[in-house]
Amino acid sequence: MSELAGQVAIVTGSSRGIGRAVASELARRGAQVVVNYRSRADAAAGVVAEIEKAGGVAYAVQADVSTMDGAKTLVDAALAAYGTVDILVNNAGIARDNLLMRLGEADWDAVLDTNLKSAYCCIKAVQRTMLRKRSGRIVQIGSVVGLRGNAGQANYAAAKAGLVGLTKSLARELGSRNITVNLVAPGYIETDMTADLAESLVEAARAQIPLGRLGQGEDVAAAVAYFCSPAAAYVTGQVLCVDGGMAM
């Protein structure tokens, strides 16, 4: 499959979990992928090696995309390596869960900066290139929590809900330049972030899912790839839940 051949994709936070699956899927479809990481150089190198072993092209770039300087570093590195950017997937995210009465300001700020501000920073850094080309695909990785809320995740839910508003606003701003902006909202996906959950919580989550199972990173990656594909050329400002029916 080579529907993305010749295109360059940046995937933030792609050294593990959903980001890793997205980077691998876009590379499988022909894109040259910039694998972004903040601190896990070994994991990012592993993603690059995995993509290259499968015949793809990838390049790892360290950058803290929760800052404008970090986002600019990432985009500049992509432009230096490949000359352009066609696809931006804003996936970088963390969780610092707690009831609001116990949630410290530092944990609020960390989650909002990493999960929401990073999308603003990266879009600001890349949009000039896309505007000049009069084409581009931006895909945000949100969460069903951002649509329905979840006790103990006020910071995470607020950040992911913010991504929905950002997505719809930018779809209106950038549509005239043939730049689409969409959001994939995963449900419970088996990743490093969910691996530490107590089995009782996992079972409780599974009971809420009509399909009766947790999702895989590949399920999310397929939805992201759709938004990046020619098939989605007339789709923008949309939220696609990949959640086994949990949030319907």
Hey, which residues are catalytic here? 156
- C-beta separation of 10 from 36 below 8 A: yes
The Cβ of residue 74 has, within 10 Å, a number of other Cβ atoms equal to 25
* Token output for 192: 């490093």
* Token output for 234: 């007339």
- C-beta separation of 243 from 185 below 8 A: yes
Nearest to 219 by CA among 196, 240, 194: 240
Kindly report the backbone phi and psi dihedral angles of residue 160, in degrees, each rounded to the nearest multiple of 5, phi listed first.
Answer: -70, -35
- C-beta separation of 127 from 121 below 8 A: no
- C-beta separation of 54 from 46 below 8 A: no
